[in-house]
Amino acid sequence: MGFLNERWDVFAHRHQLPPVLAANGAPWLTWLMIGGRGAGKTRAGAEWVRAQAMGRAPLASEKAGRIALVGELTVECAALWCVLMHEFWTGDIQTINALVNATALLVTYWGFRFGVLGVYISGRTREKVSALTGQDSPGLVEKLVKAVVKKK
């Protein structure tokens, strides 16, 4: 059964795999995935990172030397680091194995959500939406003013 868990190339939908080449024929630099709930964005990102770490074709040509763990808050990265260091220090193999097996979950929360694949819009910040669409999205104050003006 473990073999099947590692066969992402067999179970992935076509939209969950990165393009081989960009529209101009060169290797792609940014892969933007936009999809609704359940479209497989998180799993696709986790599997892409796993392939980079292990050097698995067709998603990677060789093992990545370093993979950055990016968190929105410094405390998120520090918390993960503390847990990992504690488990390595105590030698708790079961917990270390559980963390290794939970790679997709860790990448999901601390990595993919914040841009492992280049650009990922969560819809929470005006700056990200404005940067991607080129349109200014209203902030909280503008929304409140608009709501008050409409009620009059």
Residue 146 and residue 99 in one domain: no
Confidence band for 103, pLDDT divided at 50, 70 and 90:
low
Mean pLDDT of 125-135: 66
Residue 53 and residue 31 in one domain: yes
Residue 11 and residue 29 in one domain: yes
> What domain range is 145 assigned to?
123-152
pLDDT score of 92 more than 60? yes
- Both tokens of 63, joined, read 């093992």
Residue 14 and residue 43 in one domain: yes
pLDDT above 90 covers a percentage of the chain that reads 0
Confidence band for 109, pLDDT divided at 50, 70 and 90:
low
pLDDT of residue 139: 65
Query: Which of 17, 61, 10, 62 has its CA nearest to residue 40?
Result: 17
Q: Give the total number of structural domains in the chain.
A: 2
Confidence band for 129, pLDDT divided at 50, 70 and 90:
low
| CB within 8 Å of 53: residues ≥ 6 apart | 63, 64, 67
Residue 55 and residue 12 in one domain: yes
Location of structure tokens 């608009």: 146
